[in-house]
Amino acid sequence: RRHTVIDFDSQFDARLNKMLLIRSLVSPFGKGVKCTKPSLQIMCGTQFCKVLPPQVTQIHSHEFHTSNHCADKQYGRLVKNEVQALFREANLSKIHETPKPMLVYGIAGLTPFVVPPLYMLLTGYYEPFLMMSQNMYGATILAFIGGIRWGATLPQSSALEPNNINIFTSIVPSIIAWVSLLLPCYPLTSISLIAGLGASCYIDIRKTANYPTSFKALRLLLSLGAITSLTMSMGLSLILEKF
């Protein structure tokens, strides 16, 4: 009899997989629910083990439970590889090769990002004006970053051609910066700016081959400083008492 049950034809095997899928979908919501009809009992799992041998039920259930886990694992591995490639291509050890004025003014440009969260940490109060000024400065920097890409397409000898993709990606940061300032509260503005700064940094480092390594290192360093400061201010605005 066991051989008769396991030897399914293709049509019944398709129905079996369908029932297993239904069972996996409804099982989290099936606690405390009693199925009265035999057909529903089979789909909900109350009579499922009576239809199939335990070996078959165990194998198919294992496949359904591990599929989502494997997808999450694969996605996590992909993100990890991209982050590692980002740091490898930027190569922060080359930052000393950046032209001195660019390096000095770039690091000094982090001041409006860093001061607001430091002030709120030292005083223990959330200051809306400081967060507003930080967000406005962040929007200005995001628009400036788009302008860098636009300007890089202008020289005739530039490897960055003024095609649709490059021009489009150079104006998107300005649009994100403008929209972020229209959002109704500062945390949403910070989230929008963080996303824009992170995406533009990724495109400049991973998707633009003709930028010098020293410039990519500076872009990564300044972007990390800006994103960290915005994240700190956003978190402090949620936990500190308003001044």
Q: If you count DSSP H runs as helices and E runs as strands, how many of each does the chain have, helices first?
A: 11, 2
Do 147 and 46 sit in the same domain of this protein?
no
Single out the residue in 45, 74, 103 at which a domain terminates. 74
Residues 122 and 58 in one domain: no
Question: Helix, strand, coil: what percent of the chain each, to 5?
Answer: 80, 0, 20
Domain assignment present for residue 227? The answer is: yes
Residue 80 lies in a domain: no
Q: In this structure, are 102 and 206 located in the same domain?
A: yes
Residue 81 belongs to a domain: no
pLDDT tens track, the chain, 243 positions: 444 444 444 555 556 555 655 555 544 444 444 444 444 444 444 444 444 444 444 444 444 455 666 777 788 888 888 888 888 888 899 999 999 999 999 999 999 999 999 999 999 999 999 999 999 999 999 999 999 999 999 988 888 888 999 999 999 999 999 999 999 988 999 999 999 999 999 999 988 878 899 999 999 999 999 999 999 999 999 999 887
Q: 217 and 104 in one domain? A: yes
User: Which amino acid appears at position 234 of this protein?
Assistant: M
Predicted model pTM: 0.69
Residue 64 pLDDT: 45
Number of domains the chain contains = 2
**The domain boundary residue, chosen from 46, 74, 102:** 74
Q: Has residue 84 been placed in a domain?
A: no
pLDDT score, position 33 = 42
Answer yes or no: do 110 and 55 share one domain: no
- Is the domain of 49 the same as that of 118? no
The predicted structure's pLDDT at residue 7: 47
**Dist. CA 186–CA 173, nearest whole Å:** 18
Residue span of the structural domain in which 61 resides: 2-74
158 within 8 A of 210, measured Cβ to Cβ: yes
Residue 221 inside a domain? The answer is yes
Q: Pick from 26, 45, 74: which residue ends a domain?
A: 74
The pLDDT score that the predictor gives to residue 226 is 98
